[in-house]
Amino acid sequence: MKKFFYNILLFFVRLFCRIFFRMKVNGKENFPKDGALIFCANHTSNWDLVFLFSFLPREVRFMAKKEIFSWFFIGSLARFLGAFPVNRGKPDLKAMRTALQILKDNQVLGIFPEGTRLKSEDAENAKAGIALFAYQSKADIMPCYIDIENKKIRPFCKVIINFGTVIKNEELNLEKKDSESLKKASVYILDKIYKMSEEK
């Protein structure tokens, strides 16, 4: 029953995006059809989740800031879509356990590497948590770049979603879990994402 309503919701959200925005999606064929995967995208707009939900080839369970779950409608919708809350102010062990269980179950974990919405692009803003999940799960990374025309949401603006090629876990050189290695690997992932802005 949940899958039935999920597909109905997906249909209408996708239709909405097609009507009110000039959508272009590249590289959907790069998305693995099964297996554990960490999905990472840049984050510049509150609409990012809507755009991604509309065109992701697989169901992705996003880690989202806990504040949105305090809003009844949006919070309920987020939970229905498989999102789960994380406390960004301090280490959240419950959220970490949930994220690792998603990967253990061969599902897709969704994370915004910057940790919050940013207008400027600096790979050094990457949070080490992405690499930590990659280290503990050995999952590969699916990078994605969302390009919004003039970085401003408005009716009929052009929105491009670029799905990149999978970043293999071994590319991250995560042989140990020290903070320097994790930060370096996270910066590597976010840099790869930003460079996809040229693939239009």
What is the arithmetic mean of pLDDT over 129-158?
A: 94
Domain extent, residue 130, equals 2-198
CATH number assigned to the domain comprising residue 94 = 3.40.1130.10
Looking at the structure of the chain, the number of domains it has is 1
pLDDT in tens, 46-76: 888 889 988 999 999 999 888 888 877 777 8
**Residues of the chain with pLDDT > 70: what percent?**
98
Mean pLDDT of the chain: 90
The interaxial angle of helices 129-137 and 93-104, nearest 10 deg, is 40
Please tell me the pTM assigned to this model: 0.91
pLDDT score for 2: 76
**CA 102 to CA 150: how far, in whole Å?**
35
pLDDT in tens, 165-187: 999 999 999 988 889 999 999 99
pLDDT at 198 over 70: no
The residues, any chain, with a CB within 8 Å of residue 100's CB and separated by 6 or more, are: 133, 136, 137
pLDDT in tens, 94-105: 999 999 999 999
**CA 190 to CA 145: how far, in whole Å?**
10
